[in-house]
Chains A and B, each alone.
Chain A
Amino acid sequence: MKVTIDGISIDVEPGTTILNAARKIGGDIVPPAMCYYSKLEGSGGKCRTCLVKVSKGSEKDPRPMPKLVASCRTTVMDGMEVQNITSPEVLEARKGVVEMLLINHPLDCPICDQAGECDLQNLAFDHGTAKTRYEFDRRTFHKIDIGDKIQLHMTRCILCYRCVFTADQITDHRIHGILNRGDHSEISTYIQAAVDNDFSGNVIDVCPVGALTDKTFRFKNRVWFTKPVEAHRDCDHEKCSGKVTLWYKGEDVLRVTARKDVYGEVESFICNTCRFDKKKTSDWVIEGPRKVANWSVQTANHYEMLHPLPVVKTNPVLQEANKNQFERETRL
């Protein structure tokens, strides 16, 4: 099926969503997505940041769609023409959605562990306005611990439902969900039960904001001071791939996460043992430095050191990367 997004045509399989077609093309025309997660079935359609305009329905029925549609849940038709960044209407609506997402968000990025790898931060930077027009108290919640490894800070939540889908589909049972409705709705467990499951840690990775954070990493360090390194181990859990990113500070592994792609989605889910308990370099086989996009703050302080860290010294791949980075930085 042929679909044209912002004037760029691509052939895709029937049943592909507009968002996935745009991701195949790549670049600026990919609509941002806060709630859609390609690994989770049924996700998407809620945050409305991925709204696009369908200016031509299909070859058969060329009428445009009357409203903006959520690109993550709308499948392409043959000959469909979609406008994303070429439509002022879409940009205006997206600006509105970002504003809505931010009015009850605490904007506590300076003390938030997610800062630097936060989808909402990126979204607000790209599409938001510098000032808010909201002049009322923001909704707040108490922090609660769901399980001994995960902390829920509901105030930051944007209710994307990703963690609910994760618990449904990745773990064997779900005990957290949405309580209440409207802007009172919150992610919570019924009567403060603990989320205890081999795969529960994945909710931290899927959370687009800092609402679900790793208690073993909380306030340990900023993301941009740590050095991400790809590694793997032979995990005996049958569903765990063992492919992770280690976040180093000096010689210590501060945090283990699953590997995320350019859209912030994990490549494969990992078990809690890998995530929380294996924090020594000797537990892992190091593959090489993680590729971080140039625009990301995560590139700060990475490999430009004259005196490389001990973990770099012992690994030829990291040494090579360090050298390249060093040359690039010093040339500038």
Chain B
Amino acid sequence: MGRKLLLTNINVPGINTFDVYHKNGGYASVEKALKTLSPDAIVEEVKKSGLRGRGGAGFPTGMKWSFLAKPEGVPRYLVCNADESEPGTFKDRYLMTYIPHLLIEGMIVSSFALGANVSYIYVRGEMMPQIRILEKAIAEAKNAGFLGKNILGTGYDLELYVQPGGGAYICGEETALLESLEGKRGNPRIKPPFPAIAGLYGCPTVVNNVESIAAVVPIINEGGEEYAKIGIGRSTGTKLISAGGNVKKPGVYEIELGVSCEEFLYSDEYCGGIANGKRLKAVVAGGSSVPIVPANLFLKTINNELRLMTYESLADGGFVSGTMMGSGGFIAFDEDQCIVRNTWNFTRFYHHESCGQCSPCREGTGWMEKVLHRLEYGHGKMSDIDLLVDVSKKIEGNTICPLGDAAAWPVASAIRHFRDEFEWHVTNPSEALTRNYGLAHYADPLPKKEEVAS
């Protein structure tokens, strides 16, 4: 049984209320941090913990905090990115629904560490129930003296606001989020300047994912070094994975980083294997924007080593044979799923969500969607496959924000690994409409690496 840090008390009845949460050791980190630690010591502690951003990019949180500019007389802000809209990811919603106080607690400690007196939680507009829950939790914490003026008599003031988003995926990009928070159209800003220098209202700002902020609580409670003991290498601590797709037990699991992919997928403690006795075909390991990998490459790396649920191991092999940790939106596909259709569906999403600011993404996502639609519905041509690869290459890396990359990677990787399925859709258009390609060779053991004569 893996260790749980965030979801320890998830099954305690009434944990979403302040009283029960406080009774179960909640808000201990606030007392510890505000009364015994200096802001710099907290940043140092987070740095020591090796916590990496849980929103997708995996950038070390402590490092991000230490980059924050601290000019005199200018307010600093902490913004929590709860605009979770990635297809496949639902961990933040789960956290906010069931233990909202964990996020509030993390916000107080993080804001104190960064010297922010006003902090925002930017919640996706569709999550209205969660917004209400957070507002209630903030009111409860305020009544108990954990928010507002002079928190716990330490002289530290913090106002926490919940801001419902406008309902766009792009507002999860940090600079677009800040634009949206300022009340403007949610277009990503052109970087530099980075938010750590000029963010919300031109002031230094840190934007962190819900889970990153929640993870600060156990780090402060137990100490950064203790936290860093969990996990392997540079992937420390625990991570929430929202498992979905054709698994037996979909849901949000907290794993210790370093659990093997096989164990996560097949053990009864986690996903419990593939539903209905079917076989695994492909996996999207971290939300729709990460490269999709076939079953054999998901369980083993290209060098025939066991693949682990860590930032490094999932990315082993780069884009050729690896994938990414992303935001932890784990989607498993069984043998009856059509990869072409799935890729089309993802692309449709990115086409719909592109903000339209820069040309490669605005035009390219729509183009890819149309071509994939044609392939899926049996009007495709052989040349379309190469066209897709080329278009995705033209988008990737040439856009203002990472949405262009996120739109390009699933397409490029699906074609790289499942090219014969795409070709089958072209050569057997009528059959493709009635049945799926099936498992084919996607779960076969990986070929042994050929010995190269020296």
Contact = CB atoms under 8 A, between A and B. Distances in A.
A183 B394 contact: no
Contacts of A209: none
Contact of B362 (A45, A67, A185): A185
A152 interface: no
Contacts of B365: 182-183
Given A45-B190, A46-B400, A97-B394, A181 B359 contact: no
A38 B190 CA distance: 16
B357 interface: yes
A45 B351 contact: no
B183 to A, nearest CB: 14
A182 B358 contact: no
B384 to A, nearest CB: 9
A117 to B, nearest CB: 21
Contacts of A51: 398
Interface in A283-327: none
Interface of B: 168, 170, 185, 190, 351-360, 362-367, 370, 387, 391, 393-395, 397-400
A99 B398 contact: no
A322 B20 CA distance: 91
Going nearest first, the 10 A-B pairs with the smallest beta carbon separation are A96-B394, A185-B356, A45-B190, A100-B363, A182-B354, A183-B366, A67-B397, A182-B356, A136-B370, A100-B359
A73 interface: yes
Given A48-B398, A182-B351, A182-B353, 10 more contacts: A48-B358, A68-B397, A93-B398, A96-B395, A96-B398, A97-B398, A99-B394, A100-B362, A103-B367, A181-B168
A190 interface: no
Contact of B363 (A45, A180, A183): A183
B117 to A, nearest CB: 29
B399 A180 contact: no
A183 B387 contact: no
A103 B398 contact: no
Interface of A: 44-49, 51, 67-68, 70, 73, 93, 96-97, 99-101, 103-104, 133-134, 136, 158-159, 161, 177-178, 180-185
Contact of A104 (B170, B363, B394): B363
A185 B353 CA distance: 11
9 contacts: A44-B190, A68-B397, A96-B360, A96-B394, A100-B362, A100-B364, A159-B362, A182-B362, A182-B366
Contacts of B352: 182
A45 B367 contact: no
A134 B391 CA distance: 11
Nearest to A49: B359
Contact of A133 (B362, B387, B397): B387
A134 B364 CA distance: 10
B325 to A, nearest CB: 19
A159 B185 CA distance: 15
Contact of A159 (B356, B394, B398): B356
A159 B360 CA distance: 12
A73 B397 CA distance: 16
Contacts of A47: 358-359
A168 B128 CA distance: 34
Contact of A158 (B359, B360, B395, B397): B359
A46 B62 CA distance: 32
A68 to B, nearest CB: 6
A165 to B, nearest CB: 13
Question: By CB atoms of chain B within 10 A, which of A97, A100, A180 has the most?
Answer: A100
B354 A181 contact: yes
B165 to A, nearest CB: 14
Nearest to B399: A48
Contacts of B394: 93, 96-97, 99-100
Question: By CB atoms of chain B within 10 A, which of A45, A73, A158 has the most?
Answer: A45
Contacts of B359: 46-49, 97, 100-101, 158-159
A111 to B, nearest CB: 23
Contacts of A134: 367
Contacts of B367: 100, 103, 134, 136
A177 B395 CA distance: 25
A291 to B, nearest CB: 31
A67 B367 CA distance: 23
A34 to B, nearest CB: 8
Contacts of A99: 394
A180 B360 contact: no
Question: By CB atoms of chain A within 10 A, which of B185, B355, B358, B370 has the most?
Answer: B358
A184 B356 contact: yes
Question: By CB atoms of chain B within 10 A, which of A68, A70, A97, A181 has the most?
Answer: A181
B188 to A, nearest CB: 10
Given A73-B190, A100-B363, A133-B387, A178 B398 contact: no
Nearest to A133: B387
A68 B398 contact: yes
Contact of B356 (A45, A49, A181): A181
Nearest to B357: A46
B400 A45 contact: yes
A73 B353 CA distance: 24
A96 B367 CA distance: 13
